[in-house]
Amino acid sequence: MLEYRALVTGLNGLLLAFALTLPSVALAAPKDKGARQLQEQAMQTDYAETNFKKAEQKLKKAIGQCGSTGCSNQVVGELHRDLATVYIAGLKQNGKGKTELKHALRANPDLQLDEDFATPEVRKIFKELGGHEPKAAEEEEAPAKAKKCDPDEDDCQEHQCRFHGVSVYAHRGSATRPEA
What would the pLDDT profile of 26-39 be if each residue is shown by its tens digit?
444 899 999 999 99
Query: Measured in whole angstroms, how far is the alpha carbon of residue 137 from the centre of its chain?
Result: 12
User: Where on the phi/psi map is residue 165: left (φ > 0), alpha (ψ -120 to 50), or beta?
Assistant: left
Neighbours of 21 (CB within 10 A): 10
What would the pLDDT profile of 148-166 be if each residue is shown by its tens digit?
545 455 444 444 444 334 4
Strand order in the sheet with 166-171: 159-163, 166-171, 174-176
- Say what percent of the chain tops pLDDT 70: 58
DSSP 143: P
CB 31 within 8 A of CB 65: yes
Query: 167 φ, ψ to 5°?
Result: -75, 135
How far apart (Å, rounded) are the C-alpha atoms in residues 140 and 162?
8
Query: 156 φ, ψ to 5°?
Result: -75, 120
* Domains of the chain, first to last: 32-140 (1.25.40.10), 143-176 (no CATH)
What would the pLDDT profile of 56-106 be if each residue is shown by its tens digit?
999 999 999 999 999 999 999 999 999 999 999 999 999 999 999 999 999
CB 81 within 8 A of CB 100: yes
**pLDDT class for 13, splitting at 50, 70, 90?**
low
Confidence at residue 132, expressed as pLDDT on a 0 to 100 scale: 86
- For the chain, what is the total number of helices (H) and then of strands (E)? 7, 3
What would the pLDDT profile of 132-151 be if each residue is shown by its tens digit?
876 554 444 444 444 454 54
| Residue with more model confidence, 130 or 27 | 130
pLDDT at 130 > cutoff 60: yes
How far apart (Å, rounded) are the C-alpha atoms in residues 1 and 28?
41
Confidence at residue 6, expressed as pLDDT on a 0 to 100 scale: 56
